[in-house]
């Protein structure tokens, strides 16, 4: 059925046809508003938080463009501002309230302006209550489970003239084949699963993103094939815990098997993924990584703590020894792999001895880089009500010591590639010097070298001439 036929037969019940119906209807409504305003209506999607949110924002952008809205980079000039929110850290919420306050002035001046809020923060009932009470001028609120309904919600808002709120507690629904507008022409995130079943005791994600559900492998492969046909050479497979991919499918499939299917896609050159949970990282996956020509030599393996006692309190379900053993197995099979990690310092009950266990793992693994965090209470998680919260001064002191160690090791580890020739995917013209371009090695290290924008999206050979801490300067060579 084409779009016109849907309209003749009423509102389709099936997805994604239903949303295409609403995109068309929304486009007509937006066109009418454009006529009244005497200009094209514009939008600005602001993304907070992780890569999952960034990918969701590309979907919102795709739907808005189908409806005839034109992108406007400056929030305050846009007719439709959408905040795709994150709630992993408590202070992130304050930033959104602050920005909303500023927008109220703009909204008074611009009669066509609408404000939409979505993402993880909206899954918290207190947040929605607060917005309903104190930010009455918000037009549209929806959550993480029904982002696919964006077009339908916009139409409801335009037709009713009232604030529209649609939040679902959970879903097992995955809607395929909706438009999306990729930020980069040559690389793209690809959701392979949604939600998380792990309930690490400091993390709010399982409460706001719901239970784990995997996309059908055929849909994933089809999407990547389309991207490749459109010039994409690198994909980043996204999931909160990619290692448990496929468990909920009618015909279960492992993440390693999915990777093998993706590897077969002709024209695709690089495959990345995040985030694997150490407890589920299988020998099968290590084997597949060791044989692959396309999976990048980089593994982000969140440690969180090196103390088995604290790992238990975090509900991570691995011990220090199991983690170290896993690293050994990975390095034995993929010797040139770059390992990066996340570490939380000052989790409730963490003693100096526990902290030294973390330092011990850092010294043994020698990460290429590590994201280090000071533990901060997240209301709604079990850890927030644990006793023995560590005083801020002690957390800060441990954090400083850890950061120094991580940076020192990282500088040593990263410098080993000096004078080698590497394949670099060129991503952009350098921000500070337009005679240079910036690209990434397979292991994710950044390299700057002379070149121009015609190289963007291509993989070229570069000799790494100088290591400057966490990045390289190089020169292109013809091979
Ligand atoms: S694996 Fe743990 S840290 Fe990661 S999203 Fe799930 S609960 Fe949060």
Which sign, positive or negative, has the C-alpha torsion 135, 136, 140, 145? positive
The Cα-based distances of 175 to 16, 155, 241 in angstroms read 6, 19, 20
Q: What is the mean pLDDT of residues 75-95?
A: 91
The pLDDT of residue 8:
54
Residue-wise pLDDT for 95-108, tens only, equals 899 999 999 999 99
Whether 170 shows a pLDDT value over 90: the answer reads no
The pLDDT of residue 9:
60
Percentage of the chain beyond pLDDT 70 is: 98
Q: What does the DSSP assignment read for 189-200?
A: EEE-EE------
Helices 17-37 + 150-160 axis angle, to 10: 40
The pLDDT of residue 421:
97
Residue-wise pLDDT for 397-426, tens only, equals 999 999 999 999 999 999 999 999 999 999
Q: What is the mean pLDDT of residues 172-193?
A: 92
From the alpha carbon of 204, which atom of ligand 1 is closest? Answer: 8
Ligand 1 pocket test target in 120, 198, 207, 276 with most atoms within 8 Å of CB: 198
Whether 210 shows a pLDDT value over 60: the answer reads yes
The pLDDT of residue 1:
41
Ligand 1 pocket test target in 144, 202, 203 with most atoms within 8 Å of CB: 203
**Ligand 1 geometric centre to CA of 273 (Å):** 15
**Ligand 1 geometric centre to CA of 317 (Å):** 12
Q: Which of 94, 99, 67, 98 is nearest to 82 (CA)?
A: 99
Q: Which residues line ligand 1 (CB under 6 A)?
A: 196, 198-200, 203, 205-206, 240-241, 277
Residue-wise pLDDT for 102-150, tens only, equals 999 999 999 999 999 999 999 999 999 999 999 999 999 999 999 999 9
Q: What is the mean pLDDT of residues 187-193?
A: 96
The pLDDT of residue 128:
96
The pLDDT of residue 3:
46
Residue-wise pLDDT for 217-248, tens only, equals 999 999 999 999 999 999 999 999 999 999 98
Q: What is the mean pLDDT of residues 177-199?
A: 93
Q: Is 71 helix (H, G, I), strand (E, B) or coil?
A: strand
Q: Residue 341 pairs with which residues in a beta bridge?
A: 370
Q: How far apart are CA 103 and CA 96, in angstroms?
A: 11
Q: The pTM is what?
A: 0.91
The pLDDT of residue 172:
85
pLDDT category at 4 given cuts 50, 70, 90 is very low
**H-helix or E-strand spanning residue 19:** helix 17-37
Q: What is the mean pLDDT of the chain?
A: 94
Q: Whose C-alpha lies nearest to ligand 1, atom 8?
A: 203
**H-helix or E-strand spanning residue 439:** strand 436-440
From the alpha carbon of 196, which atom of ligand 1 is closest? Answer: 6
The pLDDT of residue 142:
97
Q: With contact defined as beta carbons under 8 Å apart, do 378 and 89 qualify?
A: yes
Residue-wise pLDDT for 10-39, tens only, equals 799 999 999 999 999 999 999 999 999 999
Q: How far apart are CA 230 and CA 179, in angstroms?
A: 14
Q: How far apart are CA 363 and CA 289, in angstroms?
A: 25
Q: With contact defined as beta carbons under 8 Å apart, do 358 and 345 qualify?
A: yes
Q: How far apart are CA 140 and CA 80, in angstroms?
A: 10
**Ligand 1 geometric centre to CA of 180 (Å):** 26
From the alpha carbon of 275, which atom of ligand 1 is closest? Answer: 4
Residue-wise pLDDT for 32-47, tens only, equals 999 999 999 999 999 9
Whether 283 shows a pLDDT value over 90: the answer reads yes
Residue-wise pLDDT for 337-353, tens only, equals 999 999 999 999 999 99
The pLDDT of residue 420:
96
**Ligand 1 geometric centre to CA of 262 (Å):** 25
Residue-wise pLDDT for 441-459, tens only, equals 999 999 999 999 999 999 9
């Amino acid at each position: 059925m084409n779009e016109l036929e849907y309209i003749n037969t009423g509102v389709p019940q099936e997805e994604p046809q239903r949303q295409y119906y609403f995109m068309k209807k929304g486009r007509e409504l937006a066109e009418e508003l454009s006529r009244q305003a005497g200009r094209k209506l514009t939008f600005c999607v602001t993304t907070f938080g992780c890569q999952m949110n960034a990918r969701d924002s590309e979907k919102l952008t795709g739907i808005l463009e189908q409806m005839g809205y034109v992108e406007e980079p400056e929030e305050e000039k846009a007719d439709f501002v959408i905040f795709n929110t994150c709630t992993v850290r408590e202070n992130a919420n304050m930033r959104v309230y602050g920005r909303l306050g500023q927008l109220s002035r703009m909204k008074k001046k611009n009669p066509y302006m609408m404000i939409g809020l979505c993402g993880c923060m909206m899954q918290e009932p207190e947040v929605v209550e607060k917005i309903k009470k104190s930010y009455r001028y918000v037009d549209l609120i929806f959550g993480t489970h029904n982002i696919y309904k964006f077009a339908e919600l916009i139409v409801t808002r335009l037709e009713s003239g009232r604030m529209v709120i649609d939040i679902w507690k959970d879903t097992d629904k995955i809607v395929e084949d909706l438009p999306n507008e990729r930020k980069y022409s040559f690389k793209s995130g690809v959701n392979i699963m949604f939600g998380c079943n792990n309930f690490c005791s400091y993390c709010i994600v399982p409460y706001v993103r719901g239970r784990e559900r995997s996309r059908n492998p055929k849909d994933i492969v089809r999407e990547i094939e389309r991207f490749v046909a459109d010039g994409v050479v690198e994909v980043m497979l996204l999931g909160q815990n990619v290692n448990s991919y496929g468990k909920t499918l009618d015909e279960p499939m492992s993440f390693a098997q999915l990777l093998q299917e993706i590897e077969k896609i002709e024209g695709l050159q690089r495959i990345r993924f995040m985030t694997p949970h150490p407890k589920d990282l299988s020998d099968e996956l290590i084997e597949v990584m060791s044989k692959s020509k396309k999976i990048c030599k980089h593994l982000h393996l969140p440690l969180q703590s090196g103390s088995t006692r604290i790992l238990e309190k975090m509900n991570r379900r691995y011990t220090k020894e199991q983690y170290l053993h896993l690293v050994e197995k990975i390095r034995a099979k993929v010797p040139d792999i770059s390992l990066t990690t996340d570490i939380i310092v000052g989790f409730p009950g963490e003693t100096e001895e526990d902290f030294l266990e973390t330092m011990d793992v850092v010294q043994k693994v020698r990460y290429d880089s590590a994201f280090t965090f000071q533990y901060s209470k997240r209301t709604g998680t079990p850890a927030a009500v644990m006793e023995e919260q560590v005083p801020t001064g002690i957390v800060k002191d441990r954090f400083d010591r850890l950061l120094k160690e991580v940076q020192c090791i990282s500088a040593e580890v990263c410098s080993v590639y000096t004078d080698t020739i590497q394949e670099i995917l060129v991503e952009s013209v350098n921000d500070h010097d337009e005679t240079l371009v910036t690209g990434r090695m397979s292991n994710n290290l950044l390299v700057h070298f002379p070149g121009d924008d015609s190289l963007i999206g291509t993989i070229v050979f570069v000799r790494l001439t100088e290591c400057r801490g966490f990045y390289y300067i190089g020169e292109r060579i013809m091979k």
